[in-house]
Amino acid sequence: MTFLRILLALGAAYVGQLLGTRLTPWFPALVDLFLVVVVWYALHTRSAVAQLIGAAAGLLHDGLTGGLFGLHAFANTVVAYGVAAAAQRVEVQQQAVRVLLFAAASALQQGLVLLLLLLLTDAPDAPGWGWALGRVAITAMLGAVLVGIESRLRSRWSRWQHARSSRLRFR
């Protein structure tokens, strides 16, 4: 079931990335839905699973982008490992911390891709500062939306459970 959910999440990211690019040409420059999936799972699953999701999501992304194949796979694996490690060490129940992790993951991913390009190619392309910051901000925003939805669902779930248990007690 978990595997199926992961596949669905990656599939949704792929389709979202395709449709977004059809809607506006600036979408791929500003939005990385694969990274959002990676960070989400890094916050919610074990480090090993998150790393595998990072590598898979990165390869999917590399299939769509130009440049060397494996750039995003490498960067997303590191991001998944880093976020999973941070999630174990830091108190990530706070929404603000989680959103910050999304932003940091985006910055780290872009930095790693640029570093690899600098090391491996003669004439690397680099995103402008504006684009890079925009991408960080949008990733953080998407993270905030996901975290918000999750916390709302959790509170609704706990209210429902509380109501159900109190009804059972009265009987």
Q: What residues make contact with another protein under the rule CB under 8 A? A: 11, 14-15, 18-19, 21-22, 25-26, 28-29, 46-48, 51-52, 55, 58-60, 62-71, 73-74, 77-78, 81, 84, 113, 116, 120-128, 131
**In angstroms, what is the minimal distance from the CB of 147 to another protein?**
24
DSSP collapsed to 3 states, the chain: CHHHHHHHHHHHHHHHHHHHHHHCCCHHHHCCHHHHHHHHHHHHCCHHHHHHHHHHHHHHHHHHCCCCCCHHHHHHHHHHHHHHHHHHHCCCCCHHHHHHHHHHHHHHHHHHHHHHHHHHCCCCCCCCHHHHHHHHHHHHHHHHHHHHHHHHHHHHHHHHHHHHHHHHHHC
CB nearer to another protein: give 77 or 139: 77
**In angstroms, what is the minimal distance from the CB of 168 to another protein?**
38
**In angstroms, what is the minimal distance from the CB of 153 to another protein?**
28
**In angstroms, what is the minimal distance from the CB of 16 to another protein?**
10
CB nearer to another protein: give 70 or 86: 70
